[in-house]
Amino acid sequence: MRLVIARCSVDYAGKLTAHLPMAPRLVLIKSDGSVSIHADDRAYKPLNWMNPPCSLREEPYDENGAIARWTVTHGKSGERLILTIEEILHDTSHELGLDPGLQKDGVEAHLQELLAEHITTLGDGWSLIRREYPTAIGPVDILCRDADSATVAVEIKRRGEIDGVEQLTRYLELLNRDPHLAPVRGIFAAQEIKPQARVLATDRGINCVTLDYDALRGIEHEGTLF
């Protein structure tokens, strides 16, 4: 991972245009090729970003006193992020290595186990391929096939938020590069799914499923699984 703190402006050119005026910002360049630009607020959410596959070109740039221009280009869509850099305050790289993945709490782990055991809860004729299916960026909670034998990746959370949708999106990008699995679609499953997460998932073609933990455990009460 490369971490850069720079005084820069950022322009996005793609389906629409957007501009971030000159200000100090954090730029993260990850080993998977992704680039994200952050301010000192908004928690983990970037101001703008580019998911892989993308390329970064650095070149000298002296217009209006800037010292460099970095152009990030998406390999498929051609969308671009253009960073005009006035001053680099910090520039360092670190090799983080393979991440062991998120350790889930008891409820999430049990939800995964129960859903894997009763995969037909998602639909008649569904079958399990594997729990904790390994990828280069961590394990997918459940990989399965639907009634038409299409591959489905399921990400399970106790509370479904935007970061969970982003996580599943990254898994789907990797899984769809495997010709033995592709095409792979996604299901985002949680006991509670935040409205913003549901909107983002829908926009990305990911189905949302609300899980009833007690129903999965076979406890009788009013209500259904979905």
Query: How high is the mean pLDDT of the chain?
Result: 88
Which domains are delineated in the chain? 2-93 (2.70.180.20), 106-216 (3.40.1350.10)
Give 98's pLDDT tier (boundaries 50, 70, 90): confident
Does the pTM surpass 0.75? The reply is no
Residue 225, pLDDT > 50, answer no
User: Which residues neighbour 214 within 8 Å (Cβ) at sequence distance 6 or greater?
Assistant: 221
| pLDDT band at residue 219 using 50, 70 and 90 as cut-offs | very low
d(CA 181, CA 39): 38
Cα–Cα nearest to 22, from 64, 54, 58: 64
CB 71 within 8 A of CB 81: yes
166-198 confidence digits (pLDDT tens): 999 999 999 999 999 999 999 999 999 999 999
